[in-house]
């Protein structure tokens, strides 16, 4: 099992905002959908990052840009602009940090150039 962390500040802030909206009843339909999808993906990642439903795979262009292996996993499939999460192993052994959330890029040539990822917040120990 892995411990799941959220990249800072973006991913941590997004999850906190979604959680607050769910608990105070102000969540819109899209908020609720994203909360469920992201929550399910975190559970699957925690148990097995290679779970077939996640379709996890390395994104070599992001790995080269950020200097660490960056993986993409599905939040949904067969949907226009289907959500994808980006994650890395670390900061410690048996940790996974989710560092990005984006719709699936349609631009095949420059697909990942516009993606900016959160910081892990800690150095790998």
CATH code, domain carrying 19:
3.30.2310.20
Integer Rg of the chain from CA:
14
Question: Per the domain annotation, does 44 fall within a domain?
Answer: yes
- What pLDDT is attached to residue 113? 73
> What is the reported pTM?
0.87
In the chain, the number of structural domains is 1
Question: Per the domain annotation, does 120 fall within a domain?
Answer: no
Average pLDDT of the segment spanning 39-45: 97
| Lowest-pLDDT range of 48-62, 78-92, 98-112 | 98-112
Question: Per the domain annotation, does 108 fall within a domain?
Answer: no
- The residue range of the domain holding 15 is 3-103
Q: Are 18 and 12 in contact (CB under 8 A)?
A: no
Determine whether 65 is exposed, middle or buried from the number of CB atoms within 10 Å of its CB (0-12, 13-18, 19+): middle
């Amino acid at each position: 099992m892995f411990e799941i962390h959220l990249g800072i500040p973006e991913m941590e802030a997004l999850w906190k905002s979604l959680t607050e909206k769910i608990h105070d009843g102000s969540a819109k339909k899209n908020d609720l959908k994203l909360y469920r999808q992201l929550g399910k993906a975190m559970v699957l990642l925690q148990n097995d990052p290679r779970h077939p439903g996640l379709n996890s795979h390395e994104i070599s262009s992001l790995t080269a840009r950020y200097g660490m292996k960056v993986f993409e996993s599905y939040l949904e499939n067969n949907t226009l602009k289907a959500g994808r999460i980006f994650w890395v192993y670390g900061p410690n052994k048996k940790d996974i940090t989710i560092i990005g959330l984006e719709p699936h890029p349609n631009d095949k040539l420059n697909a990942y150039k516009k993606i900016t990822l959160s910081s892990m917040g800690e150095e790998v120990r």
